[in-house]
Amino acid sequence: MTAGTSAAAPRQSLRADDDPQAALRTQPVKIAVGLVGMILTVWALGNLFLAFGFYPEKFGSKIVIGLLAIVAGVGGAAVIFYFLNMFVEGLPARLSEGLIPYAFILPGFALVALMLIYPTFQTINYSFANSDSTAYVGLQNYRTIFGDSEFWSSIVNNVLWLVIVPAVVVAFGVVVAVLSDKLSANGEKFAKSLIFLPMAISSVSAVSIWALVYAYNNPGQAQTGLLNAIWTSLGGDPQTWLQISTAKLNSILLMVILIWLQAGFAMVLLSSAIKGVPEDTLEAARIDGAGEFQIFWQVVIPQIKGTIITVFVTVFITVLKIFDIVYVSTNGQYGTNVIANLFFNKLFAASEAGQATAIVVVLLLAVTPLIWYQIKHFRDEEANR
């Protein structure tokens, strides 16, 4: 392999200098070396990664495997592209020009196709099959889930999450972005860092953190949960907050966790949009006698509308797939279930792959309009470029 590369690399530059016509002809050596190189690299990488899988003990420690994986993955990808490029360049010029783009997108696109595009169709297929995906049962899975009250209550909860969380996150982001813009540079940086920080925290850790806020101790004992401590000091009885489904209180308390996690994201994008609003438009409005409030609604908001929509859609997509927070905190009990959690429990606790995939298909139908929106958004952006 190494001999092949070192022999082929100088040849390429020599040829190009000697004879400009050479690049237009077929170069069988390049084709052969490129092809063999690619096959060898894929073979070697495949074996190495399979060895990680089957004989992890041969590598001594996990750290060795991790380091080897990084080197092999990144280096291997570079080597594959090197040989792929050599192979395509060896082809006659006209063919080569046409093929290089496909060679560049092939590895990345193949992975997307394997991990996302093929499974999408396979999942739709499985949704018409039985619980271990071995025989077709027609529409039975859909009949079962549509007849399940848990499914409908999950849908209601999902809709509630979708109505509340993205709107609150965007509103909060706008308020923070506007207010922090009025602080001194250091004050702004500091305040924004603190609000941004939860973005680094996983949902599981966030639930652990908020467990200290929602904790319950029996009446008479000292309350260790912040919310109950405040509640009892105001004269109330301690509550098991996450079990109160009246007015969907427990779902709303779980939403607070997600809002806490996502607010920083909205703030960062909206803040940079607000800083991009030209000062002279604000100045003109001030000269015309507009108050700060009017300026905000009639000058600033229209100019950051695009960002607001982008943030809203991004958070909306996150919320649509909300799983971790519900799974870890209540696992959908006490009327807090959501679609993604129902899916997880159907697939793994109940081993009902048919019903589980049918639930994913419902989720898939729900995101379809967003796909259309994203594409439209992209086209508009391209038109403005």
From the list 142-150, 183-191, 238-246, 280-288, the region that binds other proteins by CB under 8 A is: 183-191
**Per rule CB under 8 A, is residue 105 in the interface with other proteins?**
yes
Q: Of the candidates 202, 240, 298, 351, which one interacts with other proteins according to CB under 8 A?
A: 202
The SS3 of residue 136 is strand
* φ/ψ (deg, to 5) at 136: -75, 145
Contacts of 259 (CB under 8 A, 6+ apart): 165, 168, 169, 172
Q: What are the structure tokens assigned to 266, written together?
A: 């909205």
Judge contact between 346 and 131, C-beta under 8 A: no
Q: Of the candidates 53, 138, 220, 235, which one interacts with other proteins according to CB under 8 A?
A: 53
CB atoms within 10 A of CB 88: 21
**Per rule CB under 8 A, is residue 43 in the interface with other proteins?**
no
Distance in Å, CB of 213 to other proteins, minimum: 6
Distance in Å, CB of 264 to other proteins, minimum: 8
Distances (CA, A) of 280 to 109, 259, 286: 45, 34, 10
Q: What are the structure tokens assigned to 306, written together?
A: 């695009």
Name which of 355, 329, 339, 365 is nearest 156 in CA terms.
Answer: 339
State the DSSP code for 79: H
Q: How far apart are CA 134 and CA 46, in angstroms?
A: 30
Q: Of the candidates 3, 185, 234, 365, which one interacts with other proteins according to CB under 8 A?
A: 185
Q: What are the structure tokens assigned to 46, written together?
A: 């495949």
**What part of residues 145-164 is at the interface with other proteins (CB under 8 A)?**
none
Distance in Å, CB of 227 to other proteins, minimum: 11
Q: Of the candidates 9, 135, 167, 204, which one interacts with other proteins according to CB under 8 A?
A: 204
Cα Rg of the chain, angstroms? 29
Distance in Å, CB of 236 to other proteins, minimum: 16
**Per rule CB under 8 A, is residue 194 in the interface with other proteins?**
yes
Number of residues that bind other proteins (CB under 8 A): 121
State the DSSP code for 307: H
Q: Of the candidates 107, 219, 236, 291, which one interacts with other proteins according to CB under 8 A?
A: 107
Site mask, other proteins, residues 108-147, x = CB under 8 A?
xx-xx-xxxxxxx-xx--x------x--------------
Name which of 259, 270, 347, 255 is nearest 307 in CA terms.
Answer: 270
Pick between residue 70 and residue 135 the one whose CB is nearest to other proteins: 70
Cα 278–Cα 279–Cα 283 angle in degrees, nearest 5: 130
Pick between residue 53 and residue 246 the one whose CB is nearest to other proteins: 53
**Per rule CB under 8 A, is residue 250 in the interface with other proteins?**
no
Q: Of the candidates 31, 160, 211, 282, which one interacts with other proteins according to CB under 8 A?
A: 211
Q: Of the candidates 49, 216, 312, 334, which one interacts with other proteins according to CB under 8 A?
A: 49
Judge contact between 266 and 311, C-beta under 8 A: yes
Q: Of the candidates 42, 59, 81, 160, which one interacts with other proteins according to CB under 8 A?
A: 81
Pick between residue 164 and residue 362 the one whose CB is nearest to other proteins: 362
**What part of residues 303-362 is at the interface with other proteins (CB under 8 A)?**
306-307, 309-311, 314, 317, 320-321, 323-324, 327-328, 340, 343-344, 347-348, 353, 356-357, 360
**Per rule CB under 8 A, is residue 236 in the interface with other proteins?**
no
**Per rule CB under 8 A, is residue 170 in the interface with other proteins?**
no
Cα 191–Cα 192–Cα 197 angle in degrees, nearest 5: 105
**What part of residues 260-279 is at the interface with other proteins (CB under 8 A)?**
260, 263, 265, 268-269, 272-273
Contacts of 361 (CB under 8 A, 6+ apart): 123, 124, 127
Q: How far apart are CA 192 and CA 188, in angstroms?
A: 6
**Per rule CB under 8 A, is residue 177 in the interface with other proteins?**
no
Output the furthest CA–CA distance in the chain (Å, rounded).
Answer: 93
Distance in Å, CB of 265 to other proteins, minimum: 8
SS (H, E, C) 202-215: CHHHHHHHHHHHHC
**Per rule CB under 8 A, is residue 11 in the interface with other proteins?**
no
Q: How far apart are CA 303 and CA 139, in angstroms?
A: 48
**Per rule CB under 8 A, is residue 5 in the interface with other proteins?**
no
Pick between residue 246 and residue 382 the one whose CB is nearest to other proteins: 382
